[in-house]
Amino acid sequence: MSFLVVEGLSLSFGGVRAVDDVSFTLAKGELLALIGPNGAGKSTCFNMLYGVSRPDSGSVKLDGNELVGLKPRQIWRLGVGRTFQITATFTSMTVCENVQMALLSHANRTFGIFRRAHDAYRDQAMDLLDIIGMRGQADRPTNVLAYGDLKRLELAIALANEPKLLLMDEPTAGMAQPERRSLMKLTADLVRDRGTSVLFTEHDMDVVFEHSHRLLVLNRGRVLAEGSVAEVRADPKVREIYLGGGSTYASMETNHA
């Protein structure tokens, strides 16, 4: 059964259709990769799913609930976690406090004034840090972390509200190769163990081919292709615009060489 249903999503910026009539679905426990060249509309799509920008038309339904028109914090409360392409963490807090903050918010206690935050939900936060293998760094300030660790921390924060859907915007950008593998392995395990659905954008084709169940290819704001890894890899249109098929360049060589 489809858990997330996106229908006819469109958004224009100054006359340019950044996202043009995009529809797709995502099933429970599915890992769907959203790929496409830069400027294809991936980030715009993501922002609309997460309430950052409002589509001109179209709908996004999560488990039957309409998300269009909701604010990010409301979407989060419906069980959607998010990691950012450029990490967004609370830099003046420790690693553990970052996760604690998300847990406090999940428990609706951000307006609490009668106890200290420092030790609230510390054990649960530590458990989440265990999942991403960062328990040892729990009390380090966030602003001294290596970039790969920040990316992993984002995942722990996103898991704090026991999300049913994870939106990950280029989760491995800026990471070294072995780190990428381990982060995506972790994500795949979560999908398997918890039945979480994941939608992620990614440039690294290794990551995409290795872990995603299904691919959605965007180009110039439109869905160009959709299907399994093998289907998309074999699609000549996709090869041409994205995977470096070479037909265009071959013709160039004859023109100019």
Is residue 38 a contact point for another protein (CB under 8 A)?
yes
| Nearest alpha carbon to residue 28 among 85, 79, 77 | 79
Smallest separation, CB 203 to another protein (Å): 4
Per the listing, tokens 């959605």 go with 216
Task: Using CB under 8 A, pick the residue from 177, 182, 188, 231 that binds another protein.
Answer: 177
Which residue's CB is nearer to another protein, number 29 or number 39? 39
H or E segment to which residue 205 belongs? helix 205-211
Neighbours of 141 (CB within 10 A): 13
What token pair was written down for 20? Answer: 């043009």
What token pair was written down for 149? Answer: 């660790």
Per the listing, tokens 């994205």 go with 242
Per the listing, tokens 């722990």 go with 156
Is residue 69 a contact point for another protein (CB under 8 A)?
no
CB under 8 A: which stretch of 23-31, 60-68, 230-238, 239-247 binds another protein? 239-247
Total binding residues toward another protein, as defined by CB under 8 A: 69
Please tell me the distance from the alpha carbon of residue 148 to that of residue 172, in angstroms, as a whole number: 8
Please tell me the distance from the alpha carbon of residue 126 to that of residue 122, in angstroms, as a whole number: 6
CB under 8 A: which stretch of 17-25, 54-62, 137-145, 223-231 binds another protein? 137-145
Task: Using CB under 8 A, pick the residue from 68, 93, 131, 186 that binds another protein.
Answer: 93
Task: Using CB under 8 A, pick the residue from 23, 57, 65, 91 that binds another protein.
Answer: 91
Contact partners, residue 252, CB within 8 Å, separation at least 6: none
Is residue 118 a contact point for another protein (CB under 8 A)?
yes
Q: How many helices (H) and strands (E) does the chain have?
A: 10, 10
Backbone phi, psi, residue 227, to 5°: 155, -165
CB under 8 A: which stretch of 58-66, 124-132, 145-153, 210-218 binds another protein? 145-153
Smallest separation, CB 192 to another protein (Å): 25
Q: Which residues bind another protein (CB under 8 A)?
A: 14, 37-40, 50, 71-73, 76-77, 82, 84, 88-94, 97, 100-102, 104-106, 109-118, 120, 141, 143-147, 157, 160-161, 173-178, 203-206, 240-241, 243-244, 246, 248-249, 252-253, 255-257
